[in-house]
Structure 1
Amino acid sequence: MSEPEIVRSGKFQDRKMEIEDKFEKLRVVGRGAFGVCWLCKKKGEENAEKVIIKMIPLHGLSTKEEQEIKGEADLLRKMKHPMIIGYYDYFTCAESIAIVMQFAEGGTLENLIRDQRGVHFSEATVLKYFTQILLGLEYMHSLNIVHRDLKTQNILLNKKRTLIKLSDFGVSKQLNTRSVASTLIGTPNYLSPEMVEGAYKPFLQHEIGHLGAGLRLLRAVHGIGLIST
């Protein structure tokens, strides 16, 4: 089955509407530090595609936190690639920010590893996932975007669990070609050696660090265990 066409709002701007105007809420599929992810489907459409709506309450957010959340939506809007979770829309409703995204029915790579119950994947399967991760990162880097928190929990899968989707760009950053991502951000066991040692490098060299994080993912998928940092 081919991937659904991503329909994007043409201009990134604040718009106010209620979720119930266009969508039917089905169930909560995730909760995070800032908000809740709802599984929804469009109203009035037979066999409507299911989507994820990430709801982040504005109450209690600092101006900086609000801008970071809007920045995540803006980065998603700029990216269109088979290995990147699809962006559909952004709006505000009921004192919350809502980001509408593609629904990855296969769950996370972390869940897939757990479902194996200690049984290792074949090398061909590991290579397939690792290659797709690198393709997604290569595309992001072509736009000067760094993920900064690449880990199995942030890698989603399609229904058949054959295609990966990079997701969760809450701490991602778009750089110019001379920028340095100088803030230590990420999950400790997935940080690159350069980040751990504080050797921050210009963007074009930063890809090496992401490759190091990718190798940790490969080790995790293959059941070998993470490199200690």
Structure 2
Amino acid sequence: MNMLKEKYTNFEAISNGIFKCKHYDQSLVIKIISIPTAEHRNGVPKEIIREVSLLKELDHTNVVRLVDVMSNKRDVFLVFECLDNTLHNFLINPAIFLYPTLIKEFLFQIVNAVAYIHSRKILHRDLRPENILIDFGTHAVKISDFGSARTFEVPFLYSNKVGCPFYRAPELLLGSSNYSTPNDIWSVGCIFGEMVLGQPLFRGGSDMELLNEIFTFLGTPTEETWPGVTSFRKILAQMGPRKEPKDMNRIFSELEPAGIDLLSLLFEILAVSLILNHMGTRKSKASIARWRMETQSKFIEFGLNLP
């Protein structure tokens, strides 16, 4: 800790190995995460090396900034800018009401961050309210925790046991390891719905329970809506009779029509991407362009004019 005290002051323990403090020369409030390395035979864990390298590639107002990296023989210290809250804290606090304009304000910043992350060829893979930092006073939003993030690779083969299951796309719950950016967008849709309802959309205790909740909500997929889904027929058979999608206007009765349309499109992108895998390149580009144009128009109708 001595090396840290040369640059930082006013240390306050947040939890085990995590401190809040200030830089001597600035008013910047920061958070320091201490990661023990002595117990690792090969030194710094590869997950930490990966997270640091990815964060050094990112520079966006809605992505948490890695201020510094320090180390000694026993620990690595990651120094981040510090925001005083998370979206999760907002959602579980009964004294805080997420009024519609605040939901729009948060969603705008979340989508901006995710679009930027994807433009840098990075998948976050663990988008959830706990990883969305918020400044209570200014309502500034920053995406954090890139420990599960990966750069795009072809083929897109990754672990499907990643992130919080509540925000995991059905493709991953079914066991697929071939996925890309639409799965982050699915998570954004889940977060958007949670901000409106005040609770997670899907809360099953297992992958099967979560799939059942998703299909009860959005309807059972078919080969037409989800090419290749019949390869999971044994799992789908356990879901019981075919389910029709629920009326989102009734579930999200307090959300304006443009918001409901936008939420539907955020969930639809997963199906769009799967359909594109079964189409020619020219058709694929045209279809995804149409989806983007429609989504952009719905953002505008919802009062969010994204760049």
Normalising by structure 2, report the TM-score.
0.60
**Aligned twin of 2:89:** 111
- Report the CA distance shift for 1:176/1:140 in structure 2 as closer, same or farther (over 3 A): same
Alignment of 1:186 with 2:167, yes or no, is no
**Aligned twin of 2:172:** 195
Task: Say which is worse superposed, 153-162 or 96-105, in terms of deviation.
Answer: 153-162
Instruction: Please identify which structure carries the higher helix content.
Output: 2
Asked if structure 1 preserves the Cα contact closer than 8 Å seen for 2:122 and 2:150, the reply is yes
Distance in 2 (alpha carbons) for counterparts of 1:121 and 1:48? 29
How much has 1:227 moved relative to structure 2? 2.9
Distance in 2 (alpha carbons) for counterparts of 1:131 and 1:18? 39
**Aligned twin of 2:22:** 41
**Aligned twin of 1:13:** none
Distance in 2 (alpha carbons) for counterparts of 1:180 and 1:165? 27
Aligned with residue 71 of structure 1, among 25, 43, 50: 50
Distance in 2 (alpha carbons) for counterparts of 1:213 and 1:134? 11
How much has 1:69 moved relative to structure 2? 1.0
Alignment of 1:223 with 2:191, yes or no, is no
Aligned with residue 89 of structure 1, among 58, 68, 73: 68
Alignment of 1:50 with 2:29, yes or no, is yes
Asked if structure 2 preserves the Cα contact closer than 8 Å seen for 1:72 and 1:172, the reply is yes
Opposite residue 139 of structure 1, the aligned amino acid is: Y
Opposite residue 90 of structure 1, the aligned amino acid is: V
Structure of greater relative contact order (alpha carbons < 8 Å, 6+ residues apart): 1
Distance in 2 (alpha carbons) for counterparts of 1:82 and 1:97? 25
* Percent identity (aligned): 21
Q: CA deviation digits over 1:156-208, x for unaligned, max 9?
A: 01242422100011111112354333442111111112211223435xxx222
Alignment of 1:171 with 2:148, yes or no, is yes
Opposite residue 57 of structure 2, the aligned amino acid is: K
How much has 1:66 moved relative to structure 2? 0.9
Provide the secondary structure at the position in 1 that maps to 2:197.
coil
Instruction: Please identify which structure carries the higher strand content.
Output: 1
Opposite residue 96 of structure 1, the aligned amino acid is: D
Asked if structure 1 preserves the Cα contact closer than 8 Å seen for 2:19 and 2:31, the reply is yes
How much has 1:65 moved relative to structure 2? 6.7
- Report the CA distance shift for 1:201/1:161 in structure 2 as closer, same or farther (over 3 A): farther
Asked if structure 1 preserves the Cα contact closer than 8 Å seen for 2:38 and 2:73, the reply is no
Distance in 2 (alpha carbons) for counterparts of 1:115 and 1:193? 29
Distance in 1 (alpha carbons) for counterparts of 2:27 and 2:108? 31
Alignment of 1:23 with 2:2, yes or no, is no
Q: CA deviation digits over 1:130-159, x for unaligned, max 9?
A: 221111111111111111111111100124
Opposite residue 165 of structure 1, the aligned amino acid is: K
How much has 1:87 moved relative to structure 2? 1.3
How much has 1:224 moved relative to structure 2? 4.8
Distance in 2 (alpha carbons) for counterparts of 1:210 and 1:186? 10
Opposite residue 86 of structure 2, the aligned amino acid is: T
Select the structure of larger CA radius of gyration: 2
Aligned with residue 188 of structure 2, among 201, 214, 220: 214
Aligned residues: 202
Asked if structure 1 preserves the Cα contact closer than 8 Å seen for 2:51 and 2:149, the reply is yes
Unaligned runs of 5+ in 2: 203-209, 211-307
Distance in 2 (alpha carbons) for counterparts of 1:125 and 1:219? 14
RMSD: 2.2
Asked if structure 1 preserves the Cα contact closer than 8 Å seen for 2:91 and 2:198, the reply is no
Unaligned runs of 5+ in 1: 1-16
